[in-house]
């Protein structure tokens, strides 16, 4: 056992050395971009380096399961991502990888490789048999590693890459006296390579111009697939890249149509909106169990899924108007959520069918809820563990939905008045915020947050509806950019009608697709996307098509590096 561990460490170190990385370094994406640009013969001084984005945990798991099947268990801890320009997906292009991060990925990779090449599974993936199970067989190893490598790297392996992996398998198999153990170690080493962990993009000179570059076929395939499906390209898309089909307008449109028509489009839409709405924070969401005993982990999970189902149903199944997310009365509920919303929910299904627990529901005309801003997902995420927060809710709406940056509060602000919910002078959040806003340094920011958040005060920190706080009837009137309203439904209508809502969506989804904010040189393209979005009735699927069928999506210019 000790010999195998030593061999594994040595092979991993050798693999990383082949990528010009030492385990003791901290590698930033900027460093990687410069190295890749130099390797491609593109000087970083006069050419934008290719985009490099680390796979998100969801993408990593999806890629592995697409290749090796849903039964593969993926254990271990992934390095946390950081949110940049409102999106984790943009943050994946600015991350760093340290030795500890590679060690985590190595541990995960070893677990996956052991399952794939176990006696119970290996025949599912191996299309050859070694001459002997106790000795290397380079021909069989080459066949397996070539096929799997193309799926892992989202492109064919170079001759040098493939020869290196076969050599690893041979050396390990010889020392361990096992063909499959050697192959297992080589497979695991491939999964800690930059080519797998990062979405590398290769650029080539664009036709007809010396000042612009474009992605090669395989990079186009990856950018297209990760945007629409949040997954690596499938076999058909890789074949289209290899044949040059993606370099023609007709061929690209055919593949775009295929991807948009596939059920997997739901995965891509879910991933984008989960990122835009900051739903990763559900993993750390908690409520004061004394004040909110009914808010369980199940409630949180169901609340997140409720909003995702509402998004997919309206935008994909019905191909509806994006703005209607903020006013729609139709949603989906489970019995658990029904108890929180005080709505009877019956599934008419026998016990033991948790995957079928969802029921379509439409709120009655007199129900105070309408639109996703009144979902438990939104009001609970943007509250404190023990009380509501009009400020947090207003800030989230400004930043997530309208793309308007709200400055952080000064470090010396006194929050005592806001936090004291027992002060008899200030019985409601509105009272406390009015008192707090008398501080000059606070007034400006609170004016653009609180009037919206106060419209949601009927929903407690756990999302349960209420009409009073501390025995005082709630005043839920507010204003958004000059539009007044009296309650949450009015707020939803104001958001629906605000031009910033749709402009924000276009900016966010374009940034998500590119992995960066649009460059100044792309202003005209983004403006055309906004116009197209409006002309098509604000349908998200049409917007996605407009993005991926435009040559701008696959081009790179010097200005984009700035």
Structure tokens of 131? 């001459």
403: alpha, beta or left, given left = phi > 0 and alpha = psi -120 to 50?
left
For residue 377, give the nearest of 436, 328, 304, 446 by alpha carbon.
304
Separation CA 427–CA 421 (nearest Å): 7
Q: Is the dihedral of CA 416, 418, 420, 425 positive or negative?
A: positive
For residues 140 and 129, is the Cβ–Cβ distance under 8 A?
A: yes
Cα 393 to its chain centre, rounded Å, is 22
Helices (H), 191-296: 194-197, 217-228, 235-243, 249-261, 265-276
Residues ≥6 apart with Cβ < 8 Å to 417: 423, 426, 432, 435, 436
8-state DSSP, 66: H
Separation CA 417–CA 431 (nearest Å): 9
SS3 532: helix
Residue 45, pLDDT score: 33
For residue 75, give the nearest of 60, 96, 85, 53 by alpha carbon.
60
For residues 461 and 291, is the Cβ–Cβ distance under 8 A?
A: yes
386: alpha, beta or left, given left = phi > 0 and alpha = psi -120 to 50?
alpha
Angle, in degrees to the nearest 10, between helices 249-261 and 235-243: 180
Query: 335: number of CA atoms within 13 Å, CB side?
Result: 10
Which parts of the chain register pLDDT below 50?
1-5, 8, 12-32, 34-49, 559-562
For residue 428, give the nearest of 462, 381, 466 by alpha carbon.
466
* Full-model pTM: 0.89
Q: Where are the domains of the chain?
A: 2-200, 207-262+503-562, 287-497
Q: Which helix (H) or strand (E) holds 484?
A: strand 483-485
Cα 442 to its chain centre, rounded Å, is 33
Helices (H), 454-522: 488-497, 499-514
CA distances (Å), origin 165, targets 11, 15, 128, 168, 171:
10, 9, 17, 5, 10
Interstrand relation of 203-205 and 96-97 (parallel, antiparallel or unpaired): unpaired
Separation CA 151–CA 203 (nearest Å): 20
> 114: buried, middle or exposed (CB in 10 Å: 19+, 13-18, 0-12)?
middle
Residues ≥6 apart with Cβ < 8 Å to 546: 529, 532, 533
Structure tokens of 364? 């009655």
Q: What is the pLDDT of residues 425-455, one digit of tens each?
A: 766 877 787 775 666 555 666 778 889 999 9
Separation CA 25–CA 12 (nearest Å): 15
Tokens 């009365």 map to which residue? 329
CA distances (Å), origin 467, targets 180, 290, 420, 421, 526:
66, 21, 20, 16, 43
Residue 77, pLDDT score: 87
SS3 555: strand
Residue 436, pLDDT score: 59
Residue 9, pLDDT score: 52
253: alpha, beta or left, given left = phi > 0 and alpha = psi -120 to 50?
alpha
Backbone angles phi, psi at 483, to 5 degrees: -100, 120
481: alpha, beta or left, given left = phi > 0 and alpha = psi -120 to 50?
left
Interstrand relation of 203-205 and 198-200 (parallel, antiparallel or unpaired): unpaired
């Amino acid at each position: 056992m000790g010999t195998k561990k030593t061999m594994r460490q040595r092979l991993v170190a050798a693999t990383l050395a082949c990528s010009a990385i030492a385990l003791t370094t901290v590698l930033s994406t900027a460093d990687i971009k410069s190295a890749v640009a130099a390797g491609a013969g593109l000087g970083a001084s006069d050419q934008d380096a290719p985009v490099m984005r680390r796979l998100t945990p969801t993408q990593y798991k999806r890629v592995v399961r697409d290749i090796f099947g849903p039964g593969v268990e993926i254990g271990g801890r992934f390095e946390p991502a950081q949110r940049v320009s409102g999106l984790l997906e943009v943050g994946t292009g600015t991350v760093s990888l340290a030795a500890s991060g590679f060690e985590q990925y190595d541990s995960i990779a070893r677990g996956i490789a052991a399952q794939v090449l176990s006696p119970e599974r290996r025949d599912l993936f191996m299309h050859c048999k070694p001459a002997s199970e106790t000795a290397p067989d380079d021909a069989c190893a080459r066949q397996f590693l070539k096929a799997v490598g193309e799926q892992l790297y989202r492109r064919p392996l170079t001759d040098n890459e493939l020869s290196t992996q076969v050599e690893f398998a041979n050396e390990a198999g010889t020392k361990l006296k096992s063909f499959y153990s050697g192959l297992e170690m080589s497979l695991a080493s491939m999964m800690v390579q930059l080519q797998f962990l990062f979405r590398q993009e290769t650029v080539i000179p664009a036709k007809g111009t010396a000042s612009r570059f474009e992605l090669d076929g395989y990079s186009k395939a990856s950018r297209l697939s990760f945007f629409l499906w949040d997954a690596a390209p499938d076999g058909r898309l890789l074949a289209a890249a290899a044949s040059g089909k993606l370099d023609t307008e007709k061929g690209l449109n055919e593949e775009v149509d295929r991807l948009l028509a596939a059920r997997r489009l739901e995965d891509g839409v879910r991933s984008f909106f989960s990122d835009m709405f900051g739903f990763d924070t559900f993993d750390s969401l908690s409520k004061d169990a004394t004040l909110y005993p009914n808010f369980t982990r199940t409630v949180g999970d169901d609340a997140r899924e409720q909003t995702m189902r509402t998004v997919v149903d309206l935008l994909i199944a019905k191909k509806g108007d994006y703005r209607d997310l903020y006013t729609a009365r139709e949603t989906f509920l489970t019995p658990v959520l029904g108890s929180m919303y005080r709505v009877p929910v019956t599934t008419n299904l026998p016990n033991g069918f948790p995957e079928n627990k969802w029921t379509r529901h439409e709120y009655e005309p007199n129900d105070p809820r309408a639109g996703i801003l009144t979902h438990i997902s939104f009001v609970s995420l943007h509250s404190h563990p023990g009380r509501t927060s009009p400020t947090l809710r207003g800030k989230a709406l400004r930043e997530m939905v309208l793309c308007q940056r709200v400055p952080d509060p000064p470090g010396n602000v006194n929050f005592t008045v806001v936090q004291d919910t027992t002060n008899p002078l200030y019985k409601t959040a509105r009272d406390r915020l009015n008192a707090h806003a008398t501080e000059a340094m606070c007034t400006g920011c609170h004016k653009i947050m609180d009037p919206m958040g106060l419209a949601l005060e009927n929903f407690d920190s756990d999302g349960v509806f209420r009409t009073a706080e501390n025995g005082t009837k709630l005043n839920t009137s507010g204003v958004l950019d000059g539009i007044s309203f009296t309650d949450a439904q009015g707020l939803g209508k104001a958001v629906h009608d605000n031009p910033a809502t749709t402009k924000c969506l276009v900016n966010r989804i374009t940034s998500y697709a590119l992995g960066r904010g649009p460059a100044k040189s792309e202003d005209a393209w983004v403006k055309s996307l906004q116009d197209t979005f409006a002309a098509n009735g604000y349908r998200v699927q049409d917007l996605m098509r407009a993005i991926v069928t435009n040559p701008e999506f696959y081009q790179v210019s010097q200005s984009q590096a700035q």
